[in-house]
Amino acid sequence: MSPPAARITPLRLLAAAVLAAIPLGRAWSAGTFYTGYVLPGNCNYATTDDPYCTSDIYVPGYYRPGSLGRDVPIGLFLAVAALILAIVAVRRRTAGTRRLARAGTVALGIATALALGAGAPTAVICCGFALVLSVPPVWSRPVLAQSRPAG
């Protein structure tokens, strides 16, 4: 790995970790607003002074907020990917950290697939950019100086 690439790789992995963590705090599904309704009263067989006469009752509407990224199953994969990529970004490059980083990109790939299935565009965009940043340095094979060309 050339010296400039050695300085850029931790930044790429750290940026991928931040991008993987962004959907955890974003709304995963939109909220739903339920409108109010009126239950009509009944005074057909009674006078207005009669206790059996019921007036109209208004039931107010309410808003049910959507779920956040940390509340859905994808949150586990996003948190694992963000944590692993952040740890690998600050540690020295070894075979163990490369395996750990590969596990982080696999978790990120699973999170991307789940986001595509759930129809969450923000999570798909964040995970996609995180994969673009993290996959090339993690999954590329190092070129050894003493290896012979194929053929």
pLDDT digits (tens, 9 = 90+) for 63-80: 887 776 666 788 889 999
Rounded to whole angstroms, the Cα distance separating 9 from 134 reads 8
- Residues 11 and 43 both lie in one domain: no
* Residue 39 near residue 57 (C-beta atoms within 8 A): yes
Enter the DSSP assignment of 4: H
* Per-residue pLDDT tens over the stretch 7-18: 788 899 999 999
- Residues 53 and 85 both lie in one domain: no
* Per-residue pLDDT tens over the stretch 7-53: 788 899 999 999 999 988 877 666 788 888 888 877 777 666 666 77
150 located within any domain: no
The whole-number average pLDDT for the span 97-118 is 91
Average model confidence (pLDDT) across the chain = 82
- Residues 9 and 25 both lie in one domain: yes
Rounded to whole angstroms, the Cα distance separating 87 from 98 reads 11
Of 16, 42, 64, which residue sits at a domain end? 64
Of 64, 87, 113, which residue sits at a domain end? 64
pLDDT at residue 56 greater than cutoff 70: yes
Rounded to whole angstroms, the Cα distance separating 102 from 13 reads 11
| Residue located via tokens 């607003």 | 33
33 CB-near residues (< 8 Å, 6+ apart): 61, 62, 63, 64
- Residues 43 and 114 both lie in one domain: no
- Residues 85 and 123 both lie in one domain: yes
44 located within any domain: yes
* Domain of 39, in residue numbers: 32-64
Report how many domains make up the chain: 2
Q: Confidence band (pLDDT; 50, 70, 90) for 146?
A: low
- Residues 112 and 40 both lie in one domain: no
Residue with the larger pLDDT of the pair 121 and 131: 131
134 located within any domain: yes
- Residues 71 and 105 both lie in one domain: yes
Residue 63 three-state SS: strand
Give Cα 2 to chain centroid, integer Å. 33
